[in-house]
Amino acid sequence: MFGPAGATTPVIGGDQLAQRLPSESIYYDNPRWPDVPSQTGTGSGPASYNAFHMRAMDAHGGWVMTSADMVRFADAVDGRSGMPALLSPATVLRMITRDAMVPGTDFGLGCEIDGLRETIAVSIDEVRAAVMSSFPAAP
């Protein structure tokens, strides 16, 4: 799904701090939080590097990419900025609609939502604006 969007940097992140990619952020936990058992089965530590097995999260998270590629992918989901849409409008609507079969949930089919369908579009627009303001205008 990333290739058609023009995103070239997405990779699955590592599970441990030692597996951090060169340009990947360092994740910090609240120092008051207790350590959690490691998903590797050995030891424990901060949740950021012990609570998740990122290599198994490729269907719903764990991806590391540049901000620009994140915007490219978000634009391509519904065809913003002239990109061909990766998903149909009906699929996007299902993703951002609360699942009626799970009362009290804050999730649609693949997206965390807060009850406002516009939230996702606004979030994408905010990310796009932040990324674009970080780079000088092209000549």
Q: Model confidence over 38-91: pLDDT tens digits?
A: 888 888 988 888 888 887 877 767 888 998 898 888 888 878 777 778 888 888
Q: Would you say residue 134 has pLDDT above 70?
A: no
Q: Model confidence over 6-27: pLDDT tens digits?
A: 899 999 888 888 888 888 888 8
The band of 34, judged by pLDDT with boundaries at 50, 70 and 90, is: very high
Mean local confidence (pLDDT), 98-112: 75
The residue type at 75: D
Q: pLDDT at position 132, please?
A: 59
Q: pLDDT at position 105, please?
A: 75
Q: pLDDT at position 10, please?
A: 92
Q: Could you tell me which residues come within 8 angstroms of residue 56 by beta carbon, excluding any fewer than 6 positions away?
A: 62
Q: pLDDT at position 122, please?
A: 47
Q: pLDDT at position 136, please?
A: 53
Q: Name the more confident of 107 and 48.
A: 48
DSSP string, 9-65: --EEPPSSGGG--TTPPPP---TTSPPEE-TTSS-EE-GGGTS--GGG-TTTS-EE-
Q: Model confidence over 109-127: pLDDT tens digits?
A: 767 776 444 444 445 555 5
Q: Where are the domains of the chain?
A: 1-65, 87-139
Contact 13, 63 (CB under 8 A): yes
